[in-house]
Amino acid sequence: HCAYCDGGYKQLGFPTELDFKVHFSWLFFPFHRWYLYFYERILGSLIDDPTFALPYWNWVNPDGGMVIPLIYRDEDSPLYDPRRNPDITPDTLVDLNYGSGKDPSVEQNLGVMYTSVVSGAKRASLFHGKAFFAGKQPELGGGTVELGPHTALHRWTGDPRQPNKEDMGRFYSAGRDPIFYSHHANVDSMW
């Protein structure tokens, strides 16, 4: 995941080296769908189940979805990651407006989602982000979901005790936390 986010790959076939980035442009949604699709196919082949699909964490659902699911909080579970925010308890509501300084609430989270998906995304370019053109340096401009609840949830989940808020708080380490995949499966459901 991180190689496509931090300039690990360059655009081929052009006289100068141009970055290839999937974040902060319209590539965000299709790249993550592609990434999860192949991840699901690989896992499905390992367990010999072609119907395998990743579960999604519906952090938009006020009926129990706005907390980290138990399977990710159980320290005996292989889905537990010790590099998560230690202030998150079983009853802590997700903060889809993380960094605003306001205490999270169901109403606030639903308001963030309404703005990200409906009122703030009246044009496709606002929802998806800036266009990305081959042969040009990317002009960064993420869409409403990427810049809003998606990124807020990454930062909220990451461990503030780590130098760079690993694991979920940084591109290079987010995929180390199993919750990354359920988080992005939910983001995919919005696309």
| Residues identified as active-site | 1, 23, 32, 150, 154, 171, 184
Beta bridge partners of 158: 84
Distances (CA, A) of 171 to 37, 154, 167: 19, 9, 8
- Smallest Cα–Cα separation from 174: which of 159, 186, 187? 159
Query: Which residue is associated with the tokens 């592609």?
Result: 34
- Smallest Cα–Cα separation from 147: which of 25, 27, 58, 33? 25
Residue 132: CB atoms within 10 A of its CB come to: 19
- Smallest Cα–Cα separation from 1: which of 42, 36, 40? 36
User: What's the CA gap between 132 and 19, in Å, rounded?
Assistant: 11
| Per-state percent for the chain, helix, strand, coil, to nearest 5 | 40, 5, 55
